[in-house]
Amino acid sequence: MPAYDHIYIDGSWKPSHSTSTLTVLDPTTEQPLALVPDGTAQDADDAVGAARAAFPAWSRTPVAERTGYLDAIAAELGRRAGDLAQLITREVGSPLAFSRAVQVPLPINSFLQAARTAGAYGFEQRRGPSLVVREPYGVVAAITPWNYPVHQVAAKVAYALAAGNTVVLKPSELAPLSVWELTDIIDSVGLPPGVFNLVSGTGPTLGEALVTHPGVDVVSFTGSTAAGRRVGSLAADSVKKVMLELGGKSPAVMLPDADPALVVPAVMAAAYLNNGQTCSALTRLIVPRAKLRETEELARAAAPSWTPANPACEHTRLGPLVSAAQRDRVRHHIGNALVSGAKLVTGGAAPPPEPGRGYFVRPTVLSQVTRDMAIHHDEVFGPVLVIESYDSEDEAVRIANDTVYGLAAAVWSADEDRALDVARKLRAGQVQINGARFDPNAPFGGYKQSGNGREGGRTGLEEFLETKAIQT
């Protein structure tokens, strides 16, 4: 694997223009893992220039040849899966079992599915007197977060490349090391120079240089809603296409005929997924008032199975948060909720007794949460589940939709048709019924301030394609 002191531009590893570095910390030990360049606007300019120069040839490359590269990347990801899972666990804190089962398989799937989708796609179609042509935009700036460091890259890069665009990628400075491994894989399959470029640095410096760069045609950003607003505002000056996958405060509605013994552990697992650091996590459990006490007791009983521990251990389900700042932010949310009148069912803001170091937070359940509390509205991004109660189905839907977010939701009912009826009323981009498995190839994205645009599958490919109508 290449040293982390270089960035990847125009098909080779090169030194950054910056002499400054950023320290990547192990969230379990709080010790340094590596240094990466704290990149500059000049790095961004070099990368965009390489991507623009490569675009004409890449956009004309036959689809079968483009998808062949993606298949090769997926195959090499599979060969390196074990080492990559361990690296993600070290830099993010994801439990090793989760890294093996989710963090690595998802990006493999993205490269494979992007190849299959592009291979079967009709880029030119006759519609009446017009020939409708779908063609790539040009240069895509992909700016990705730390919580799913390779998956979030693959969801953008694989589909952008499949569509014929070239890419400049800026990963999060908190967890970039697994992206260096992915870049080494991309380099190893012989992708033409300039088609894919990697730069590193912070959002305010390097990220904003990419968003405002006149040579960038599309910005695809995943991160917080606040950062997404900034990206959208900056990109508006040059009228770039912007795709935003932002925050969430996703509800799980338990209808009166659902079995709490099935619902509670499933929703807790969804809330605590990846240590609670998942934008689509189900973080609000909305239950009939008559079943509130039973729900609380079930949550309290289930909590010990989520004891924080070293994520490198095989049986750990809950590891640390990614940084000290994130840990402190989550603890602040918990404390504020208790001051506002929420009931502590389990967990809390105090540090867990074990492990003795690392950015750990107790798995927390808060009940009797009401719509006037900040914890009802604010994305916490940690292992915190809130329980809210309702008296009628209409009220349950109102509570579920009472947020600026709309990324994901869930409904539980013994009657699937009833659950489907409620699902249609929820303002969210994905809705899960009775614990159905996540489909990584369905369109992924949100309503309202959870963003715009979709990733994955045919819809995800089309986000990276312009439309031209030719009359003949």
Rounded average pLDDT per 10-residue block, the chain, 472 residues: 84 96 97 96 98 98 98 98 98 98 98 98 96 98 98 98 98 97 98 98 97 98 96 96 97 98 98 98 98 98 96 97 98 98 98 93 98 98 98 98 98 98 98 96 97 97 98 90
Q: Identify whether 313 is a catalytic site residue.
A: no
Catalytic-labelled residue, pool 91, 173, 181, 279: 279
Q: Identify whether 297 is a catalytic site residue.
A: no
Q: Can you give the pLDDT at residue 246?
A: 97
Catalytic-labelled residue, pool 245, 379, 388, 463: 245
Q: Which two tokens stand for residue 242?
A: 């912007």
Decide if 194 contacts 139 (C-beta within 8 A): no
CATH number of 250-440: 3.40.309.10
Q: Can you give the pLDDT at residue 2?
A: 56
Residue 329: CB atoms within 10 A of its CB come to 16
Q: Which two tokens stand for residue 116?
A: 């299959």
Q: Does domain 6-246+450-471 have CATH number 3.40.605.10?
A: yes
The alpha carbons of the chain give a radius of gyration, in whole angstroms, of: 22
Q: In what order do the strands lie in the sheet with 139-143?
A: 12-15, 6-9, 196-198, 166-170, 139-143, 218-222, 241-245, 451-452
260: CB partners within 8 A, 6+ apart: 254, 287, 291, 294, 295, 298
Pick the closest to residue 444 from 464, 466, 429 (CA basis).
Answer: 429
Pick the closest to residue 229 from 257, 252, 255, 203 (CA basis).
Answer: 203
Q: Can you give the pLDDT at residue 3?
A: 72
